[in-house]
Amino acid sequence: MNAQTLATYGFALVLPLLYLTYRLHFSKPKQAPAPTESHTKPLKPIMQAPNADLLPPKNDPYTVDELAKYDGSDSSKPILVAIKGDIFDVTKKSDVYGPGRSYHIFAGKDGSRGLGMSSLKTEHAVSDYTTLTESEMKVLDEWHSFFSKRYNIVGKVVGSSPAANM
Ligand code: HEM
Protein backbone atom coordinates (compact mmCIF):
# COMPACT_ATOMS: atom_id res chain seq x y z
CA MET A 1 0.00 0.00 0.00
CA ASN A 2 1.58 3.27 -1.01
CA ALA A 3 1.40 6.52 0.91
CA GLN A 4 -1.36 7.99 -1.29
CA THR A 5 -3.68 4.97 -0.80
CA LEU A 6 -3.03 5.08 2.93
CA ALA A 7 -3.93 8.77 3.05
CA THR A 8 -7.14 8.16 1.06
CA TYR A 9 -8.30 5.30 3.37
CA GLY A 10 -7.25 7.33 6.39
CA PHE A 11 -9.47 10.24 5.35
CA ALA A 12 -12.37 7.95 4.51
CA LEU A 13 -12.30 6.56 8.06
CA VAL A 14 -11.45 9.69 10.00
CA LEU A 15 -13.94 12.09 8.41
CA PRO A 16 -17.11 10.13 9.36
CA LEU A 17 -15.71 9.67 12.88
CA LEU A 18 -15.11 13.39 13.22
CA TYR A 19 -18.61 14.10 11.95
CA LEU A 20 -20.20 11.67 14.45
CA THR A 21 -18.23 13.18 17.34
CA TYR A 22 -19.38 16.65 16.30
CA ARG A 23 -23.03 15.55 16.03
CA LEU A 24 -22.99 13.84 19.44
CA HIS A 25 -21.54 16.79 21.34
CA PHE A 26 -22.66 19.92 19.61
CA SER A 27 -25.90 19.38 17.73
CA LYS A 28 -28.91 20.71 19.62
CA PRO A 29 -32.30 19.01 19.58
CA LYS A 30 -34.92 21.28 17.95
CA GLN A 31 -37.38 20.76 20.80
CA ALA A 32 -37.11 19.64 24.41
CA PRO A 33 -38.24 16.03 24.84
CA ALA A 34 -41.98 15.69 25.35
CA PRO A 35 -42.21 16.09 29.10
CA THR A 36 -44.12 13.78 31.39
CA GLU A 37 -44.69 14.12 35.09
CA SER A 38 -41.21 13.22 36.26
CA HIS A 39 -38.67 16.03 36.47
CA THR A 40 -39.81 17.66 39.62
CA LYS A 41 -37.16 20.33 40.03
CA PRO A 42 -35.30 22.74 37.83
CA LEU A 43 -32.81 20.69 35.80
CA LYS A 44 -29.91 22.79 37.00
CA PRO A 45 -29.28 23.23 40.71
CA ILE A 46 -29.86 26.57 42.35
CA MET A 47 -26.08 26.97 42.66
CA GLN A 48 -26.09 27.58 38.89
CA ALA A 49 -23.86 30.55 37.99
CA PRO A 50 -25.92 33.61 37.08
CA ASN A 51 -25.94 34.64 33.44
CA ALA A 52 -23.36 37.45 33.31
CA ASP A 53 -25.40 39.45 30.78
CA LEU A 54 -28.43 39.93 33.04
CA LEU A 55 -29.82 43.47 33.28
CA PRO A 56 -30.99 45.06 36.54
CA PRO A 57 -34.55 43.90 37.30
CA LYS A 58 -37.32 46.21 36.08
CA ASN A 59 -40.52 47.00 37.91
CA ASP A 60 -42.78 47.72 34.91
CA PRO A 61 -46.39 46.87 35.73
CA TYR A 62 -48.26 44.33 33.56
CA THR A 63 -51.88 43.40 34.07
CA VAL A 64 -52.84 39.76 33.52
CA ASP A 65 -54.44 40.76 30.19
CA GLU A 66 -51.31 42.60 29.04
CA LEU A 67 -49.10 39.69 30.03
CA ALA A 68 -51.26 37.33 27.96
CA LYS A 69 -50.18 39.17 24.79
CA TYR A 70 -46.62 37.95 25.36
CA ASP A 71 -47.22 34.23 24.93
CA GLY A 72 -45.26 33.91 21.71
CA SER A 73 -48.22 33.94 19.31
CA ASP A 74 -46.98 37.31 18.01
CA SER A 75 -43.39 36.69 16.96
CA SER A 76 -42.63 40.44 17.00
CA LYS A 77 -43.15 40.49 20.80
CA PRO A 78 -40.98 38.98 23.54
CA ILE A 79 -42.14 35.81 25.30
CA LEU A 80 -42.76 36.39 29.01
CA VAL A 81 -43.22 33.96 31.89
CA ALA A 82 -44.21 35.11 35.39
CA ILE A 83 -43.34 33.33 38.62
CA LYS A 84 -44.70 34.63 41.95
CA GLY A 85 -45.54 37.88 40.16
CA ASP A 86 -42.06 38.52 38.74
CA ILE A 87 -42.02 38.60 34.93
CA PHE A 88 -39.11 37.00 33.08
CA ASP A 89 -38.21 37.51 29.45
CA VAL A 90 -37.68 33.98 28.10
CA THR A 91 -37.60 34.95 24.41
CA LYS A 92 -34.17 33.37 23.95
CA LYS A 93 -35.79 30.01 24.74
CA SER A 94 -38.63 30.31 22.24
CA ASP A 95 -37.77 26.72 21.26
CA VAL A 96 -39.39 25.55 24.51
CA TYR A 97 -41.86 28.38 25.33
CA GLY A 98 -43.15 29.22 21.84
CA PRO A 99 -46.54 28.02 20.56
CA GLY A 100 -46.74 24.22 20.32
CA ARG A 101 -43.54 23.76 22.34
CA SER A 102 -43.08 21.75 25.55
CA TYR A 103 -43.43 24.60 28.06
CA HIS A 104 -45.74 26.96 26.14
CA ILE A 105 -48.25 26.34 28.91
CA PHE A 106 -46.29 28.82 31.08
CA ALA A 107 -45.96 31.56 28.42
CA GLY A 108 -47.85 34.85 28.76
CA LYS A 109 -49.04 34.09 32.27
CA ASP A 110 -48.11 33.39 35.86
CA GLY A 111 -48.25 29.61 36.18
CA SER A 112 -46.65 29.42 39.62
CA ARG A 113 -48.95 26.69 40.92
CA GLY A 114 -48.09 24.35 38.03
CA LEU A 115 -44.36 24.95 38.45
CA GLY A 116 -44.59 24.16 42.16
CA MET A 117 -46.61 21.01 41.45
CA SER A 118 -44.31 19.95 38.57
CA SER A 119 -47.42 19.79 36.44
CA LEU A 120 -47.94 20.71 32.81
CA LYS A 121 -51.75 20.63 33.06
CA THR A 122 -53.49 23.81 31.87
CA GLU A 123 -55.69 23.93 34.95
CA HIS A 124 -52.62 24.00 37.20
CA ALA A 125 -50.83 26.81 35.32
CA VAL A 126 -52.34 29.59 37.46
CA SER A 127 -50.84 32.24 39.70
CA ASP A 128 -52.48 31.14 42.94
CA TYR A 129 -49.74 29.23 44.72
CA THR A 130 -51.35 29.43 48.16
CA THR A 131 -52.59 25.85 47.69
CA LEU A 132 -49.06 24.41 47.47
CA THR A 133 -47.63 22.10 50.12
CA GLU A 134 -44.40 23.02 51.85
CA SER A 135 -42.30 20.85 49.54
CA GLU A 136 -44.10 22.15 46.42
CA MET A 137 -43.42 25.68 47.65
CA LYS A 138 -39.74 24.79 47.84
CA VAL A 139 -39.81 23.55 44.24
CA LEU A 140 -41.52 26.78 43.16
CA ASP A 141 -38.85 28.85 44.91
CA GLU A 142 -36.16 26.82 43.15
CA TRP A 143 -37.79 27.56 39.80
CA HIS A 144 -37.85 31.26 40.71
CA SER A 145 -34.16 31.11 41.55
CA PHE A 146 -33.42 29.16 38.33
CA PHE A 147 -35.21 31.77 36.21
CA SER A 148 -33.63 34.69 38.12
CA LYS A 149 -30.18 33.43 37.21
CA ARG A 150 -31.08 32.88 33.57
CA TYR A 151 -33.54 35.51 32.41
CA ASN A 152 -34.04 39.26 32.78
CA ILE A 153 -36.87 40.41 35.04
CA VAL A 154 -38.84 42.90 32.96
CA GLY A 155 -41.70 43.71 35.29
CA LYS A 156 -44.32 42.63 37.80
CA VAL A 157 -47.86 41.38 37.48
CA VAL A 158 -50.26 43.96 38.91
CA GLY A 159 -53.90 43.99 39.86
CA SER A 160 -54.03 40.50 41.32
CA SER A 161 -53.07 38.94 44.62
CA PRO A 162 -51.49 35.46 44.48
CA ALA A 163 -54.89 33.96 45.16
CA ALA A 164 -56.95 36.22 42.90
CA ASN A 165 -56.00 35.16 39.38
CA MET A 166 -57.13 31.58 39.14
C1 HEM B 1 -39.84 13.19 31.65
C2 HEM B 1 -40.19 14.45 31.90
C3 HEM B 1 -39.39 15.63 31.51
C4 HEM B 1 -38.29 15.70 30.73
C5 HEM B 1 -37.52 14.58 30.02
C6 HEM B 1 -37.93 17.09 30.68
C7 HEM B 1 -36.83 17.57 30.00
C8 HEM B 1 -36.40 18.87 30.03
C9 HEM B 1 -35.23 19.38 29.33
C10 HEM B 1 -34.30 18.57 28.42
C11 HEM B 1 -35.15 20.69 29.62
C12 HEM B 1 -34.09 21.67 29.10
C13 HEM B 1 -34.68 22.32 27.86
C14 HEM B 1 -33.71 23.25 27.20
O15 HEM B 1 -32.98 23.96 27.90
O16 HEM B 1 -33.69 23.29 25.96
C17 HEM B 1 -36.23 21.02 30.52
C18 HEM B 1 -36.45 22.26 31.06
C19 HEM B 1 -37.56 22.62 31.78
N20 HEM B 1 -38.56 21.79 32.23
FE21 HEM B 1 -38.69 19.83 31.84
N22 HEM B 1 -38.81 17.84 31.41
C23 HEM B 1 -39.74 16.98 31.94
C24 HEM B 1 -40.83 17.31 32.76
C25 HEM B 1 -41.18 18.60 33.16
C26 HEM B 1 -42.34 18.96 33.96
C27 HEM B 1 -43.40 18.02 34.49
C28 HEM B 1 -42.29 20.30 34.13
C29 HEM B 1 -43.33 21.13 34.90
C30 HEM B 1 -43.01 22.05 35.76
C31 HEM B 1 -41.12 20.79 33.46
C32 HEM B 1 -40.71 22.11 33.41
C33 HEM B 1 -39.54 22.55 32.83
C34 HEM B 1 -39.14 23.93 32.80
C35 HEM B 1 -39.90 25.14 33.36
C36 HEM B 1 -37.89 23.98 32.16
C37 HEM B 1 -37.00 25.20 32.01
C38 HEM B 1 -36.91 25.63 30.56
C39 HEM B 1 -35.93 26.81 30.47
O40 HEM B 1 -36.33 27.95 30.77
O41 HEM B 1 -34.78 26.56 30.12
N42 HEM B 1 -40.48 19.74 32.89
N43 HEM B 1 -36.97 19.90 30.75
Tell me the pLDDT tens digit for each residue of 92-110. 999 999 999 999 999 999 9
Q: Is the dihedral of CA 106, 132, 151, 69 positive or negative?
A: positive
Using 50, 70 and 90 to split pLDDT, how confident is the model at 16? Answer: low
pLDDT at residue 145 greater than cutoff 80: yes
- Give nearest CA residue, ligand 1 atom 18: 43
Residue 49 has a pLDDT of 73
Q: Taking the complete model, does pTM exceed 0.85, yes or no?
A: no
Domain 61-157: top CATH class:
alpha beta
pLDDT at residue 144 greater than cutoff 90: yes
Task: Tell me the one-letter amino acid at 101.
Answer: R
- Give nearest CA residue, ligand 1 atom 28: 118
CA dihedral 119, 123, 128, 129 (to 10 degrees): -20
- How close is the Cα of 96 to the center of ligand 1, in Å? 8
The residues spanned by each domain of the chain are 61-157
- Give nearest CA residue, ligand 1 atom 23: 35
Render pLDDT for 17-50 as a digit per residue (tens, 0 to 9): 544 433 322 233 334 444 444 566 776 554 567 7
pLDDT at residue 161 greater than cutoff 50: yes
Pocket of ligand 1 (CB under 6 A): 32-33, 35-39, 43, 90, 93, 96, 103, 115, 118, 120
Classify burial at 47, counting beta carbons within 10 Å of its beta carbon; exposed 0-12, middle 13-18, buried 19 or more.
Answer: exposed
